[in-house]
Amino acid sequence: MPPPTDNRPRTAHPAPKGWPPTARARKNRRVMDVMDTAARLLRLLSLLQARTHWPGEELSERLGVTPRTVRRDVTRLRSLGYPVQAELGTHGGYRLGASGRLPPLLLDDDEAVAIAVGLGVAATTAVSGVADGAVAALAKLDQVLPVRLRERVSAVRASTVQLPGPELPRVDADVLVVLATGCRRTEGVRFGYLDHQGRAGERSVEPYRIVHTGRRWYLVARDRDRADWRTFRVDRVREPVLTGRHHEHTDPPDAVAMVSEGTNLAPWSIQARLRVPFGLAEARRRFPPSVGVLEPDGEPDEHNAPSAILRVAANDLGPLVSFVAGLDCEVDVLAPEELRVAVRDHGARLAARHGRPPPA
């Protein structure tokens, strides 16, 4: 028996508006697809630059696409010359390998401004040869930044001026690089050196750290001839060479504290010890290394101690009295006795001048 025939009238459904698409619409769709793909490739490249390893699923989530699309995008990056390496297995994923070609400069707003400010500061540094390189780098940065970011960077540069400071000895950039290389490789360095009296000599050292105080550069190193740790002003270093002899630092010092003590205390004849009413962490925030040297106040756990010791120095009492008087906290002058007397007399004079007796 034949199946029943459906004789009901059929209603024709109208085609969606714009269907079939015109040639222009198809072209616009292809352009948008290309733009989306290009933006996604740049985003993928930026992610690969940010970390040494990315699981495929995490990349898919970050990009909002399927793992298959990620694989296709990786293939596209490889075709453009970027060495994206795939790692198989349970912990597999992708990473950007080493290459002689640099990826595009991908910066967000904060990164672009940070680079511009950093290069602007470098252009005024006391390191010979860096100023010209910084200016050239800023010019190149302007060429590769989008218009919006270029305007932000230009605004920072155009409105920033450097406060003139004292003329400082120049540091040779090549000297700085050799010393930094020795620190990085834990390789010995030999160089000529002028001491504070201008006497020339030769030093053989095991470099550890380079400390920049904002005014000068210092090398912290173990002096092989003296079998002790020393600080050297980099502007006094002459013709450093790597010796090829490697070493290990078994018990290195705190480089910042060592430079701070050498620059803030050692050259001065009067050494003062002050107790400030802050734990060591807070004291470090209030008193940077350029002010003096901070020490724990005898507590076994320095981070929980209610106070810290600040060591400062000068060649006469006047600057030390002014320093103590200018602090906005209670300070105990522990040493020397003559500073304690001078601070008390200074307070009495101020109280008498303003009509109030000093506290008993």
pLDDT in the model for residue 216: 85
pLDDT of residue 264: 76
Last residue of a domain, one of 96, 119, 140: 96
Q: Quick check: is 166 in a domain?
A: no
- Whether the predicted pLDDT of 215 surpasses 90: no
Dist. CA 183–CA 179, nearest whole Å: 6
On whether both 322 and 269 belong to a single domain, the answer is yes
| Residue 272 belongs to domain spanning | 265-353
- Mean per-residue pLDDT for 17-26? 56
Mean pLDDT for the chain?
A: 81
CATH number of the domain within which 282 lies? 3.30.70
Amino acid at 51: R
Q: Do 183 and 155 fall within a single domain? A: no
Phi, psi for 275 (deg, rounded to 5): -100, 120
**Model confidence at 109: pLDDT above 50:** yes
Residue with tokens 């001078």: 342
For residues 98-110, give the mean pLDDT.
60
In a domain, 6, yes or no: no
SS (H, E, C) 30-75: HHHHHHHHHHHHHHHHHHHHHCCCECHHHHHHHHCCCHHHHHHHHH
In a domain, 2, yes or no: no
In whole angstroms, give the CA distance from residue 89 to residue 69. 20
33 or 47, which is more confident? 47
List alpha helices for 65-129, DSSP H. Answer: 67-79, 109-122
Residue 11 lies in a domain: no
The model's pLDDT over 76-91, given as tens digits with 9 standing for 90+, comes to: 888 877 788 888 876 7
Q: Which of 190, 198, 196 is nearest to 238 (CA)?
A: 190
- Note whether 135 and 123 are within 8 A (CB): yes
The verdict on whether omega for the bond into residue 277 sits within 30 degrees of 0, i.e. cis, is: no
Pair 89, 32 in one domain: yes
- What average pLDDT score do residues 96-122 get? 70
**50 and 82 assigned to the same domain:** yes
The rounded distance, in Å, linking the Cα atoms of 220 and 215 is 16
Assess whether 280 and 223 both reside in one domain: no
Whether 264 and 293 have beta carbons less than 8 Å apart is answered as yes
Structure tokens at 138: 């800023």
DSSP states along 258-298: HHHHHHHTTT-SEEEEEEESS-HHHHHHHS-TTT-EEEE-S
| Secondary structure letter of residue 26 according to DSSP | H
Three-class SS state of 251: coil
305 within a domain of the structure (yes/no): yes
Q: Within this chain, do residues 190 and 239 fall inside the same structural domain, yes or no?
A: yes
Q: 3-state DSSP call for residue 104?
A: coil
Q: What domain count does the chain have?
A: 4
Same domain, 238 and 176: yes
Q: What's the rounded Cα separation, in Å, for the pair 41 and 69? A: 11
CA nearest 271: which of 339, 342, 174? 339
The verdict on residue 114 lying in a domain is yes
Report if residue 4 sits inside a domain: no
* Over residues 57-67, mean pLDDT: 89
- Indicate whether 345 belongs to any domain: yes
Q: How confident is the model at residue 219 (pLDDT cuts 50, 70, 90)?
A: very high
CATH number for the domain spanning 221: value is 2.30.30
Quick: pLDDT tens for 226-245.
889 999 999 999 999 999 99
Return phi, psi of residue 208, to 5°: -125, -55
